[in-house]
A and B are shown apart, each in its own frame.
Chain A
């Protein structure tokens, strides 16, 4: 069991591409930590740097307080499960699981028994003699996990653990992985580009963009209070509405196309008159009604998408399309007039100039005082 600490960790490639840029991050012992971001954001490079498959060009990496920045991969006590599982095709399941023990020179009979035991723990007893090619995707994943477990590492690293599974299996594997991690209690870092996976599995997560961490927090924090427009866009299965607005007189209202909306609670008292902002409101937290209400945007229903128990309504108001989620049975008709209203308690305001969240000081641990220049928000996040 170990904590992972990164100090100013940087990975630059020979071509000048900086994949990971001066990163500070501490992952606590036993934590299930997600690195989330779009492809090319450096999350896999970061994972590989922790594994030792890439050499950090600057900064240091500590595992359980021990500096392993320059240690070779085999000397870090870290097990990695690859995206393609990387099971050795010429070895059967037992030999695959026993491979780390073979490297450790454990006698053959003993490692067979240990592999048998580890495999049994993951429901692989029937498959021990098969070759990886004869296994389904889910079974292959469990073999890869068993092999990592057999190594008894301080840290698990999973590279896109679910991306090779089909949709239904993915949900099962998600639950399975989360339970397994809780049972083993081993610090685990996993990489994913799927925000739903990160939200569902992680204890804490970091959202990355072009080599930088944009936000660190629990899934709930990241979902409810994305610190900038990028994170706001990236998190959530339906993208957040970002409605351009201008701050009204005395900073007490937001004006969107001549309609005046109340300032969301999170930004009350933080806005200056005539400032350009984006009003952020998740479709789940946006109400639609068929009758006019105070502070609601008027528009017409353009598209209806059925999501099962709910429906996604796109309302066009001027050049703007605002999406809202409504429960089934309450969908307005297409073409009908409708009023959309962001929920005041949950809506967020982003400044157009720097794309950062406007929020009241008490919410920020660093207490940037009255200066809501949310630049401090990222600093806090990446500190």
Chain B
């Protein structure tokens, strides 16, 4: 909030006023936007360490009591474990199936392939969307997968797969066929071609998809909320929803501390993968 005013006081220079004013306005606008995004993040960092957390951002009156409170909560830590399980399973399912499907779709020409892909992409937003919740619930009920974390992973993976296939197919398309043909001439089996050549080259794409699937599953609320009964099995996103005080107010000490714990794995994962593989959306080959 203080940034724009500080910047605008520097506008009083003589000669190149026009340029300076434009610059100042530009940075003022940028600062405003930045502040908009920075405030919630600052809250996320400061509030958990505040003795009396509120909804305003301020330097904390430092304490670790909130985390102790969290430790005493019966569901908080198990829910993080549940989240890890659900997100991990979803990620593995999405990466494995999307890689195989994208490779096949990229290499085998079937009539109406592109139409199929677009249709899937369009429908995928419905599959995990609110509109399909009733049929999904019924489906899972008949499959005996209500109140099962695996069931949640399956539904999430189903919803994420079309987009994952769509993105990965681009990576697979960008891998020259001659690489595969070369390996085949040397006697490599299709599986060897996939393992030795295609997957290593598509690795940045796989990393992107893995993180994307993980983050999506990690942040899911609705599906887990509907499909799981037992609070012991609920993931973090659902459990956080239950952090209320006896008076029906949001339990801010608990929520703030839990939010931080909930956010850290995703941020860490992002940083790690970005450093290791780099996120690239085009051209599987770095030459």
Residues of A at the B interface (CB closer than 8 Å) are: 51-53, 72-75, 78-80, 82-84, 86, 88-90, 99-100, 102-104, 132-133, 147, 151
Contacts and interface: CB of A to CB of B under 8 A. Distances in A.
Interface stretch (B175-183, B227-235, B239-247): B175-183
B185 A89 contact: no
B287 A82 contact: no
Contacts of A75: 187
A70 to B, nearest CB: 15
A83 B189 CA distance: 22
* Residue from A51, A52, A99, A103 having most chain B Cβ neighbours under 10 A: A103
B287 A80 contact: no
Given A84-B178, A133-B286, A133-B287, A90 B184 contact: no
Contacts of B188: 74, 103
Contact of A82 (B178, B200, B203): B178
A132 B179 contact: no
Nearest to A95: B196
Interface string B246-265: 00000000000000000000
B197 interface: yes
A51 B287 CA distance: 27
The 10 closest A-B pairs by CB, nearest first: A74-B187, A133-B287, A86-B182, A86-B178, A100-B186, A90-B200, A82-B178, A73-B184, A80-B185, A73-B185
A74 B178 contact: no
A100 B187 contact: yes
B186 to A, nearest CB: 4
A90 to B, nearest CB: 4
Contacts of B187: 73-75, 100, 103-104
B186 A132 contact: no
B186 A89 contact: no
Nearest to A150: B186
Contacts of A90: 200-201, 203
Interface residues of B, number: 21
A151 B192 CA distance: 17
26 contacts: A52-B185, A53-B184, A53-B185, A73-B185, A74-B184, A74-B186, A74-B188, A75-B187, A78-B185, A80-B182, A82-B178, A84-B178, A86-B178, A86-B182, A88-B182, A88-B196, A89-B201, A89-B286, A90-B201, A99-B196, A100-B187, A103-B183, A103-B187, A132-B287, A133-B287, A151-B186
B3 interface: no
Contacts of B96: none
B176 A99 contact: no
A55 B141 CA distance: 50
B181 A86 contact: yes
B32 interface: no
A82 B179 CA distance: 9
B202 to A, nearest CB: 10
* Residue from A51, A53, A79 having most chain B Cβ neighbours under 10 A: A53
Given A74-B186, A79-B185, A132-B287, 18 more contacts: A53-B181, A73-B181, A73-B187, A74-B185, A74-B187, A75-B187, A82-B178, A82-B182, A86-B176, A88-B182, A89-B286, A90-B200, A90-B203, A100-B187, A103-B186, A133-B285, A133-B286, A147-B186
B186 A86 contact: no
A53 to B, nearest CB: 5
A72 B183 CA distance: 12
A88 B287 contact: no
A100 B201 CA distance: 18
A73 to B, nearest CB: 5
B185 A99 contact: no
A74 B187 CA distance: 3
A88 B184 contact: no
Interface in B83-115: none
A75 B188 CA distance: 10
B178 A83 contact: yes
A135 to B, nearest CB: 10
Contacts of A84: 176, 178
Interface in B191-225: 192, 196-197, 200-201, 203
Nearest to A104: B187
Nearest to B203: A90
A90 B197 CA distance: 8
Contacts of B287: 89, 132-133
A79 B186 contact: yes
Contacts of A72: 184
Given A132-B287, A133-B287, A88 B179 contact: yes
Interface string B8-30: 00000000000000000000000
A53 B188 CA distance: 13
Nearest to A79: B185
* Residue from B182, B200, B285 having most chain A Cβ neighbours under 10 A: B182
